[in-house]
Structure 1
Amino acid sequence: MKSDRLLSILLLLQTRGRVSAPELAERLEVSVRTVYRDVEALSASGVPVYAERGRHGGIALLPGFRTDVTGLTEDESRALFIVAARGAHDALGLGAALGSALRKVMAALPAPHRPAAELAGRRILVDAARWRGGPQAPADLGALQEAVFSDRRVRLRYRHSGAAEPSTYTVDPYGLVAKAGIWYLVADRRGSPRLFRAERVRAATVTDDPVRRRPGVELSDVWEALRREVEERPDALHVTARVRRDRYDLFLRLHAASLTAPPEDDGTSDWITVHLGYGAVGETRPLLAFGNRLEVLSPPEARAHLAEAAASITALYASDGV
């Protein structure tokens, strides 16, 4: 609606100061011509807004002008109070600030919307942590936050999975990302995107050097590229297995991410055939948790690996112990 668009322009100008017409058009998903028509409408309604053309021009409000109108709809009010579990904010040292901010927003809401917003906060909770994820090593985000917000390079002592000693890197941070309850630093190292798990950072030192990010690249762009790289990497090992029907739901909860094709189920057999992809034969070992309710059919090297692992477990428990 045009009224919502006008309010969005007003709030953006209050927050950002001078904003170019193309940027406003992109944010609002309209044409630049529509933006200029909206600016004229705001000016006609008494808002002191003006446009300057040229390389360093843009659209801005006269200095000192503010409006207290929030313009929030009932649904928008609800959305603000459906917040994630406190873990993410606490990890950033913002747990208390979140509560204070929400109280201030509640006070500023139009009175008719306050009950709905308060109810949404009590009835809806988003918890991004996975079930039974196990205890996680605490991540010290202090220095990483400082580097991210001060736009400076950071020197890391970072221990890779399986490595005996940490390695040292100097990186250019784009930002921090919380994925399923785990914090990551997204950064460039020598101009290439890298992902660093925060809990593996043994030491972080913010340098005096300004960050050197690739021009025009934002955190969301780098994260999307890295996420695709992790999730869409080609699988070196293709496994065909069959799962007992009474364990299939549990199998899906644990291994759905490894599926490479729809399951084969004729509806009459006690077995459901699945196709899985792994980076190496050793990654198939968790399938042993299903015992005789799951059988790997191919390739032969996967069957041999699991048979060897099962034999070693049998030998362990067949002994008298220590």
Structure 2
Amino acid sequence: MRSDRLLSILLLLQTRGQLPAAELAERLEVSVRTIMRDVEALSSAGVPVYTVRGPQGGIALLPGYRTDVTGLTADESRALFVLMSGSAHADLGLGPALGSALRKVMAALPAPHRPDADLTSRRILIDPVRWRGIPGPSQPGPDFAAFQQAVFADRRLRLRYRRGRDNSVRTYTLDPYGLVNKAGVWYLVADHRGEPRLFRTDRAQSATALAEPVQRRPGQELADVWEILRRRIDDIPAPLAVTVRVRDETLPLFLRFHAADLAPGDPSPEESGWTRLELRFRSLYAAQPLLSFGPDVEVLAPDNLRRLLADTAAAITALYA
């Protein structure tokens, strides 16, 4: 839409200063002629935009001119307030700056969009750090819309759920706080009979938003409940020490999957093109995914894990013989 493009030109000039017409055209995927027509339209609307001729020329705004972000759509406003976890910003020393920036953005939003943006910031949380031993990103499941409906409409949720510990299917009536994306895996944070619980959305057999209003514990927000549940899992000890060596060409991929399992200390490069690493797992079972790297990863210790992986590899070989 042209209105979106005009706003994009305005914001690009405001943040980048003078830009060549060709660069604006490339960024917005239109022709230079279209950009020049848009500049004329902005000028006619009273925006102090002008062109500079010559090899170093381009399009610029009058120095000191600023605009707000009232051109944002409702969806764009909500997207701005899908927050990373507070700890991620705190680790960078940006916690106070983030709060200040969001207050400024909220004040600049069109008044009708502010309630949705505020609700999104309290119902959706992004945590980029993968849990130890948990596989990578997954699809959220076919009933993900029902999770969102319950979360944003403040309604209870009826959930048929396949539990991870024993694969049994149970039915729950839940009071949702919100949704958390943990390194590409979506979780529902909710109370079950007044107790905080965590549910992977991809294990839902079915999910239905009920007509009943949600019954959350007073004074509890998504970030507070998530922190309690996250610590319960992060604080589970990992007593099994495992030493491995990884081929150097496979090391980047290996670290993508097992960075959370690394023990304190630096990797030890070996002259033969391998790197030695110290890992920690909660059990022999949790360490079995090491076998998925085939001959590019060798477990050096402990011996009982080496025997387990060797027996598993032999069984696979026999199956496909």
TM-score tier after normalising by the smaller chain length: 0.5 to 0.7
CA distance in 2, matches of 1:159, 1:261: 35
Per-residue CA deviations over 1:253-281 (Å, capped at 9, x if unaligned) read 23212112233426646432211122221
Compute the TM-score of the two structures, normalised by the length of structure 2.
0.52
- What secondary structure is seen at the aligned counterpart in 2 of 1:292? helix
Decide whether the 8 Å contact of 1:139 with 1:183 is kept in 2: no
Q: Are 1:193 and 2:196 counterparts? A: yes
Cα deviation 1:156-215 (Å, max 9, x = unaligned): 111123655420112211012233443321101122221112232223344454433222
Residue in 1 that maps onto 2:205: 202
Q: Which residue of 2 aligns with 1:42?
A: none
- 1:259 and 1:292 map into 2 onto residues whose CA distance is 20
Q: Distance in 1 between matches of 2:211 and 2:273?
A: 64
| AA matched with 2:315 | S
Return 242-251 or 164-173, whichever deviates more. 242-251
Pick one of 307, 310, 315 that aligns with 1:312: 315
**Matched residues in 2 for 1:184 and 1:262: separation?**
31
With over 3 angstroms needed to count, the CA separation of the structure-2 counterparts of 1:181 and 1:248, relative to structure 1, is: closer
Give the counterpart letter for 1:143 in structure 2.
A
Query: Displacement, 1:222?
Result: 1.5
> Who is 2:245 aligned against?
242
Amino acid corresponding to residue 305 of structure 2 in structure 1: A
Structure 1 segments (4+ residues) deviating >4 Å:
132-135, 162-165, 266-269
Q: Distance in 2 between matches of 1:71 and 1:209?
A: 43
Query: What is the 5 A alignment of 1:13-162?
Result: 72=68, 136=139, 138-161=141-164
Q: Contact 1:186–1:222 (CA<8 Å) still a contact in 2?
A: yes
SS at match of 1:273: strand
Letter in 2 for 1:212: Q
Kept in 2, the 8 Å contact 1:155–1:169? The answer is yes
Deviation at 1:218, TM superposition (A): 0.5
Instruction: Provide, for residues 20-56 of structure 1, a one-character-per-residue CA deviation record: whole Å limited to 9, x for no partner.
Output: xxxxxxxxxxxxxxxxxxxxxxxxxxxxxxxxxxxxx
For the 8 Å contact 1:156–1:204, the answer to whether it is kept is: yes
Does the C-alpha gap of structure 1 residues 138 and 310 become closer, same or farther in structure 2, counting only changes over 3 Å? same
Counterpart amino acid of 1:183?
A: W
Amino acid across the alignment from 1:296: V
Does residue 274 of structure 2 align to residue 271 of structure 1? Answer: yes
Aligned length: 205
Distance verdict in 2 for CA 1:150–1:246, change over 3 Å: closer
Structure 1: where are the runs of 5+ without partners? Answer: 1-69, 85-104, 110-127
Residues 164-243 of structure 1: pairs in structure 2 closer than 5 A:
164-243=167-246
CA contact (8 A) 2:140 2:185 kept: no
Q: What aligned pairs does 1:249-288 form with structure 2 within 5 A after superposition?
A: 249-265=252-268, 268=271, 270-288=273-291
Structure 2 unaligned regions, length at least 5? 1-65, 81-104, 110-127
Which is bigger in relative contact order (C-alpha 8 A, separation at least 6)?
A: 2
Establish whether residue 296 from structure 1 lines up as the match of residue 302 from structure 2. no
Comparing 142-151 and 294-303, the one that deviates more: 142-151
- Give the RMSD, CA atoms, in angstroms: 3.9
Instruction: Decide whether aligned partners of structure 1 residues 135 and 266 sit closer, same or farther in structure 2, where only a CA change above 3 A counts.
Output: closer
Residue number in structure 2 paired with 1:4: none
Distance across 2 between alignment mates of 1:271 and 1:218: 47
Contact 1:284 1:306 in 2 (8 A): no
The offset of 1:137, in angstroms, is: 6.3
SS in 2 for 1:149: helix
User: Structure 1 residues 236, 139: closer, same or farther in 2, change over 3 A?
Assistant: farther
Q: How many Å separate the matches in 2 of 1:285 and 1:191?
A: 36
How big is the shift at 1:135?
7.1
> What secondary structure sits across from 2:268 in the alignment?
coil
